[in-house]
Structure 1
Amino acid sequence: MTVDGWDGRGLPPVARARIARAADDGVKTSLLSTAGAAGLVAAGFDVVGEVLGTTVMQIGWTGFTGCGWYGASGGMFGPGTVVSSRTQWSGYAPYVNALKRGRDLAMGRMTEEAAALGADGVVGIRLTDERMEGRKREFMALGTAVRSRGRVRPARPFTTDLTGQDFAKLISAGWIPAGLTYGISVGIRHDDWRTQSQIAPFAGNTEVVGYTELVNHVRADARREFAERAARIGGDAALATDVRSHVWPLEIGENHRDHVAECVIVGNVIARFHTGHRPITKSLSILPLRSMR
């Protein structure tokens, strides 16, 4: 099935129209600030144009969302916190896979448009995940495609969420972005007797150990996936630039209440291309000539 002659593969018609328009009028649109554009030029790169990738996902099946708790009173026989990577207990893997597919499709379409423009990379990327009506989610990747003035071309455009200024600093220090990556995890934990007693109205100021365990496990699992995806890209280091998480309650059944946590980590894989002890460019010292009195 096709929509407007597009079957979902390759660039959508609107993206191809943007490419043709950029070739016709020669106007190079950008999402960079004035300082970011100046930093980009100083680093030896030129703006090619604004690029966009987007997709809308229907997430109709999240899997069995139980925590695997099977004990009697007290809730002492459950497996504790269960994260999405351990599918033997939790069915959140289908939900997490849908989130990953949405991000990957948006990033892939944005990068494909940048390649069609002859770009070497995309800087200042904004990744968004917006909830729509019902169970639909829109994933969008938006950035500025850039091209080096040098003669060495990468096999595929690099991606980074660094600003133009930070990108210029990275280049001047002998590093280049290899790719933007992420890690996602969703975990669920039963509100056992101890947790319920710690959140009771008269419990006072005390740590809710169960919730602490939940967020720690989910963040650790997201960091593990972030590291694994970064390793597949290659490079010499990874810089985490954003860590977001939220927790919400879930009523499984009568006398069975769980809490769910989701964590997303986004960051940049970077590679070293200059191994000298000094950066390629030096900072310029500026001293005031006026009296310091």
Structure 2
Amino acid sequence: MTDTTEQLAPHAVERLQGLRSQGSHEGIFTSDLSVNEFVMVRKANFEPLGLVVGSCIYHMGIQYGNWNQNMEMDVLSQAMYQARELAMSRMEQEATLLQADGIVGVRLEVKRMEWDQDILEFMAIGTAIAHRSGASGFKGVGGKPFTSDLSGQDFWMLLQAGYRPMEMVMGSCVYHVAHQGFLQSMGNVGRNTEMEQFTQAMYDARELAMERMQHEAQEAQADGITGVQLHEGSHNWKPHIIEFFAIGTAVKAMDNADALVDALRPQLVIPVND
């Protein structure tokens, strides 16, 4: 088995060695959980171990779209997917070093680097947690720490309902939306009319992103996906090039799921935040 620390930056290893690990209360914990989330994670019988981070600075390849054709930009789609996967895998390696059961509250961020318009930084960040009594059965796919974008409150409720998170699943599609010809543009002047070419492009691109997300959940043998979000952004690419990104948390029922769901009762929740 490959030593996890070999793939992490030396300063990352030093930082993690000063944090808690599963079954040990030596060191401190760090997290980006709010106070409410921290309480609910503890109520679920888990405890935070440390903030885990993965980063990848990636140079994007070149691909040109046909001016009047709707088409996926395969080179860019693959680049966005691979870069996020690298960032996620490094975050998981940090969680593994802490002997965590999983990671909650994961955020994926993308930003363009100022020194080169073709270079983007991808960052994954979340809080590694472990079961307080060391109970097994909460790891994700392949025995790795599970990943999820669930809040502390959602994580507690998911367990109460008899489900557990497996992994964050995602799908990406970078798409070139065709331009309209001059005559077609002139024909629309002053009229209410659907832009069918644009509608079809946006529809196809979102469907491709969601289909890829669903495929990841099927590969993880999950029962479903919760908290799905659809994002779109141009990342300062040329006009008419847009990324559609679908992300959610794949979940799986535990053995006692039906009994736990039947025992749940609706509760009045009064938010205390402003």
Instruction: Write the mapping of 1:174-253 to structure 2, written as runs, cut at 5 A.
Output: 174-193=162-181, 195-197=184-186, 202-246=189-233
Deviations 1:141-171 (A, max 9, x none): 1100000134215311000001000010001
2:14 is equivalent to residue 17 of structure 1? yes
Instruction: Write the mapping of 1:266-285 to structure 2, written as runs, cut at 5 A.
Output: 266-273=247-254, 274-279=256-261, 282=264
Instruction: Write the mapping of 1:99-178 to structure 2, written as runs, cut at 5 A.
Output: 99-133=80-114, 134=116, 135-148=118-131, 149-153=133-137, 154=139, 155-178=143-166
Q: Note the residue ranges of structure 2 that are not aligned, 5 or more in a row.
A: 269-274
Instruction: Write the mapping of 1:51-66 to structure 2, written as runs, cut at 5 A.
Output: 51-59=52-60, 61-63=61-63, 65-66=64-65
Letter in 1 for 2:208: D
| Alignment-derived partner of residue 50 in structure 1 | 51
CA distance in 2, matches of 1:129, 1:208: 30
- The answer as to whether partners of 1:178 and 1:233 remain within 8 angstroms in 2 is yes
Q: Note the residue ranges of structure 1 that are not aligned, 5 or more in a row.
A: 1-7, 70-79, 84-91, 252-257, 287-293
CA distance in 2, matches of 1:29, 1:285: 31
SS at match of 2:7: coil
2:37 is equivalent to residue 36 of structure 1? yes
How far residue 271 of structure 1 moved from its aligned partner, in angstroms, is 0.4
| Alignment-derived partner of residue 77 in structure 1 | none
Cα RMSD (Å): 2.7
CA distance in 1, matches of 2:192, 2:216: 39
How far residue 29 of structure 1 moved from its aligned partner, in angstroms, is 0.8
- The answer as to whether partners of 2:173 and 2:244 remain within 8 angstroms in 1 is yes
TM-score by length of 2: 0.82
- The answer as to whether partners of 2:209 and 2:246 remain within 8 angstroms in 1 is yes
CA distance in 2, matches of 1:49, 1:111: 12
- The answer as to whether partners of 2:161 and 2:257 remain within 8 angstroms in 1 is no
Letter in 1 for 2:85: D
CA distance in 1, matches of 2:49, 2:121: 26
How far residue 197 of structure 1 moved from its aligned partner, in angstroms, is 3.5
Higher helix share: 2
**Count of residue pairs brought into register by the alignment:** 251
Q: How has the CA–CA distance of structure 1 residues 137 and 9 changed in structure 2, closer, same or farther, with 3 Å as cutoff?
A: farther
SS at match of 2:76: helix
CA distance in 1, matches of 2:235, 2:97: 42
CA distance in 2, matches of 1:218, 1:32: 34
CA distance in 1, matches of 2:235, 2:49: 42
Letter in 2 for 1:48: L
Task: Give 1:81's match in structure 2, choosing from 66, 70, 88.
Answer: 70
SS at match of 2:53: strand
CA distance in 1, matches of 2:259, 2:26: 44
Q: Percent identity?
A: 27
